[in-house]
Amino acid sequence: MQKILIVEDEEKIARFVELELRHEGYDVAKASDGRQGLELAQSGEFDLLLLDIMLPGLNGIEILRRVRKESDVPVIMLTARDAVMDKVSGLDMGADDYITKPFAIEELLARIRVTLRKRSASSETAHQVLHCRGITLDSERFKVTYNGVPIELTAKEFALLQTLMQNKNIVMSRNTLLENIWGYDYVGETNIVDVYVRYLRQKIDVKFGVKIISTVRGVGYVIKEE
């Protein structure tokens, strides 16, 4: 049973939402002030948090900020009508979605379903094991092998190999790789991608006498499945 925490100081709303969620088959806990809400949210036992923003003790944005330091639990913010700033800061802080009060319960239930579904879909992607050209990459266990022989990679080398394997047979430009792995705000040597491809080739191609990562001149890199 999926467990949802409601942090909401308006008792009527909280009880109504609680009843509806229980009716839908969720397990529910409630907190009516920010400090209690944070404590429960940090317990790690919830599959989703519904956070009101204006709360006594500690506001919802602050709860979200602290929760995000240690958890990526799905969060839906409950915001007052027209509180555009609240929505923006909530999404900036890593909320998955928000809903404006007063809301129709059907809309809230739909958003909860979508958010939980998205999250379980993305955790399936995150836990996938990739296979290509004798290489097996297990992203959950952070392990790479070539024909069963373990290969030690750094985090960036791992991310680069993972991206190329996820996009096998697609030529990835240096820019795309740079943005995917180092982020849009990366400042530094632009040939960093080439440097890391060289590291990977040392550890795979050179070591095992194969040619896994191909250069496409003037474009980028690709792992082609034979």
Contact assessment for residue 159 and residue 130, using Cβ atoms and an 8 Å cutoff: no
Of 29, 54, 109, 114, which one interacts with Ca ion (CB under 5 A)? 54
Which residue pairs, CB below 8 angstroms and at least 24 apart, start in 122-126? none
Binding to Ca ion by residue 116, rule CB under 5 A?
Answer: no
CB-wise, 9 or 97, nearer to Ca ion? 9
Q: Cα–chain-centroid distance for residue 202?
A: 31
Beta carbon nearer to Ca ion, 78 or 132: 78
* C-alpha to C-alpha distance for 113 and 37, rounded to whole angstroms: 22
52 touches Ca ion (CB under 5 A): yes
Least distance from C-beta 54 to Ca ion, angstroms? 4
Structure tokens at 150: 């373990």
CB 9 within 8 A of CB 37: no
Q: Is 75 helix (H, G, I), strand (E, B) or coil?
A: strand
Give the residue closest to Ca ion by C-beta: 54
Q: Which is nearer to Ca ion, 9 or 138 (CB)?
A: 9
Q: Interacting stretch for Ca ion, rule CB under 5 A, among 2-10, 173-181, 191-199, 216-224?
A: 2-10
Among the listed ranges 34-42, 45-53, 123-131, 172-180, the one in contact with Ca ion (CB under 5 A) is 45-53
**Amino acid identity for residue 8 in this structure:** E
Q: Which residues bind Ca ion (CB under 5 A)?
A: 9, 52, 54
